[in-house]
Structure 1
Amino acid sequence: MQLRLIKPAELDQAALLADSVFREPGATSMKELFPLIFRPGLSHSYAAIADDGTVAAFMGLVPSTIKTGDAFLNVFSIGAVCTDPAFRGQGLAGQLLQLCQSHAAEAEASLIFVSGDRSLYTRAGCVPFGGTQFAELNASSAQALAAAAGEEWTLRPMQPGDFFAVYRLLNEREAGHVYSPGELALLLGTEAYAGVMGLAQRTLVAVRDGSIEGFAAVAVPAAADVPAPNTATAVEWAGQPSAVAALLAKAALCGGVGTLQVPVPWQERGLLALLRDAGASLSGGANSGTVCIADREALLRQTEGCRKGLDLSSVQDDKELISLLFDPASSEDSDAIPLPYMSGLRFI
């Protein structure tokens, strides 16, 4: 058994393994949902390769950059973790995780985000992080939100000609993934999170005086008359809070949606106020998944410009350091470093 970086020629086999573990027959393949993991290129993912060349286990590892204020965090995300049933019980996933952590540290990444929270990850130092308010819009609160947002916007599906306006809005957020135009166009089409949830992605824009001032991607039932496996959810948004609120209200009031869940990062106070005033139910929690430190020095270096004088020289425990940096409950909200919600367009 070899545990190593996967080769481009082996990615199709890894995608088939992931399909056998995560997807129902006839469902969209993981290869289509997660091109950042499975398309050929400079792969960072690892696999356990049996003596006959079979991909026995796989762990997707994808690099990205997160903008938070004026700082940029170079990070990795782990996803599509799977082991062939014939090779389970050999500790392959744990060994692959160690290789991924070493890889990220060597690349001087600051953090590794993981889409899961099972013991495989928590034993390796992954912890919950950040703060999120989970809003739930029903018909009543959605109607109130629509009334509060006003009628000054034209709300319509996103068109190809809207692309650069949406790209600008996403890059203007206080905290968010840094997208290249090509990457954003790809992710808008792959619908990864919606696909995993058994839903369909819809993209909407709010236009005023010919200018796009709001964008929202939502995962909703594919058809109004077909029961959906999961509740509709907002995937990602950007723009003026009132414009975003109008788009979320529109999505919630569409036929077949019923209830729309909106995971709002703690720093988006304007949108949270609109949702609260409209009567949406709110419950607090952490961000999506878990995170671990890849390289402590890189983390301190990359967050230096947004730590606001916070002295971390005596903090030795990784969990405490992550909490002090990113958890709004650990200090004053204004001292925590904001992060995007991680189950968005760039869900891994």
Structure 2
Amino acid sequence: MQLRLIKPAELDQAARLADSIFREPGAISMKELFPLIFRPGLSHSYAAITEDGTVAAFMGLVPSTIKTGDAILNVFSIGAVCTAPAFRGQGLAGQLLEKCQAHAAEAGASLIFVSGDRSLYTRAGCVPFGGTQFAELNEGSAQALAAAAGEEWTLRPMQPGDFFAVNRLLNERETGHVYTPGELALLLGTEAYAGVLGLAQRTLVAVRDGSIEGFAAVAVPAAADVPAPSTATAVEWAGQPSAVAALLAKAALCGGVGALQVPVPWQERGLLALLREAGASLSAGANSGTVCIADRAALLRQTEGCRKGHDLSSVQDDKELISLLFDPASPLHTSDPSGESEAIPLPYMSGLHFI
């Protein structure tokens, strides 16, 4: 058995293995949902390959860049982790994870994000991280949110001609994944997170005085498949808080949607204030999935420009360091009379860039 970087010619086989584990017959293939993992090119993913060339286990590894304030974080994300039934119990996933962690460290990444929280990852140092307010809009709170957002917005489906304006809004966010135009077009089209949820993605824009000032992608039930109101989920958004609020309210009030879940990172205070004032239910939790440190020195170097006076000299434990840097409610923070969090904001990881 070889454990190594997967070759482009083996990616189709890896996608078929992933489909057999994660997708129902007739569902959209993982190859279509996750082109950043399965498309040919410079792959960072690892596989366990038998002597006859069979992909026995696979672990997708995808690089990306996150902007947070003035800092740029080079990170990897792990997903589509699967082992063929005949090869389970041999520790292949754990060995592949070690390979991925070494690969990320050698590449100069600071963090590795994982979409899961199973023991495979927690044993390897992956921990919950960050802070998120999970809002839920029902009909009443959605109507109140629409009223608070104002009537100056023209709300409509996103068109191809809106692309550069939407790309600008996403890249102007204080915190978020940095998208190239080609990558954004790909991710908008593949609708990965909506597909995983078994929903359809709607992309909307808010226009005022001829200018696009808000964007939202929302995973909603396909109208033909919904006998009764169901739950929708906001996937990604950008722009003026009131414009985003108007778009979320519109999505929540669409036919077939009984409630809209909106996972709002703690730093988006303007949107959170609008949701709270509209009467949306809010519950606090962590970000999506887990994270581990790829390289401590790289993490300290890449976050140097956005750390708020932290003394890290005595912090040896990785879990404590992640809490100190990224958890707004971390008990390791010093008291701040201004009430401003000392944490470094991160985007919610189950968005357009979900891996």
* Aligned residues of 1:199 and 1:230 also touching (Cα < 8 A): no
Q: Distance in 2 between matches of 1:333 and 1:343?
A: 25
- Per the alignment, do residues 227 and 319 of structure 1 end up closer, same or farther by CA in structure 2, a change over 3 Å counting? farther
* Aligned residues of 2:229 and 2:255 also touching (Cα < 8 A): no
Q: CA deviation at 1:137?
A: 0.3
- Per the alignment, do residues 312 and 35 of structure 1 end up closer, same or farther by CA in structure 2, a change over 3 Å counting? same
Q: CA deviation at 1:225?
A: 5.3
Residues 103-182 of structure 1: pairs in structure 2 closer than 5 A: 103-182=103-182
RMSD: 1.3
Q: Distance in 2 between matches of 1:230 and 1:214?
A: 25
TM-score by length of 2: 0.96
Q: Distance in 1 between matches of 2:230 and 2:324?
A: 34
Q: Residues 62-113 of structure 1: CA distance to partner in whole angstroms, max 9, x if unpaired?
A: 0000000000000000000000001000000000000000000101100000
Q: Residues 282-314 of structure 1: CA distance to partner in whole angstroms, max 9, x if unpaired?
A: 000000000000000000000000002211111
Q: CA deviation at 1:231?
A: 2.6
114-123 or 226-235, which moves further after superposition? Answer: 226-235
Q: Distance in 1 between matches of 2:342 and 2:228?
A: 40
SS in 2 for 1:143: helix
Structure 1 residue 201 corresponds to structure 2 residue 219: no
Q: Distance in 2 between matches of 1:109 and 1:15?
A: 25
Q: CA deviation at 1:228?
A: 8.6
* Aligned residues of 1:224 and 1:255 also touching (Cα < 8 A): no
Residues 49-128 of structure 1: pairs in structure 2 closer than 5 A: 49-128=49-128
SS in 1 for 2:273: helix
Over the matched positions of the two proteins, sequence identity in percent amounts to 92
- Per the alignment, do residues 225 and 60 of structure 1 end up closer, same or farther by CA in structure 2, a change over 3 Å counting? closer
Q: CA deviation at 1:229?
A: 11
- Per the alignment, do residues 230 and 302 of structure 1 end up closer, same or farther by CA in structure 2, a change over 3 Å counting? farther
Q: Give the match for residue 2 of structure 2.
A: 2
Q: Give the match for residue 333 of structure 1.
A: 340
* Aligned residues of 2:229 and 2:257 also touching (Cα < 8 A): no
SS in 2 for 1:258: strand
* Aligned residues of 2:229 and 2:256 also touching (Cα < 8 A): no
SS in 2 for 1:212: strand
Q: CA deviation at 1:250?
A: 0.1
* Aligned residues of 1:110 and 1:298 also touching (Cα < 8 A): yes
Q: Distance in 2 between matches of 1:139 and 1:280?
A: 10
Structure 2: gaps (5+ residues)? 330-337
SS in 1 for 2:205: strand
TM-score by length of 1: 0.98
- Per the alignment, do residues 124 and 69 of structure 1 end up closer, same or farther by CA in structure 2, a change over 3 Å counting? same
Q: Distance in 1 between matches of 2:7 and 2:146?
A: 50
- Per the alignment, do residues 219 and 315 of structure 1 end up closer, same or farther by CA in structure 2, a change over 3 Å counting? same
SS in 2 for 1:231: strand
Q: Distance in 1 between matches of 2:77 and 2:339?
A: 28
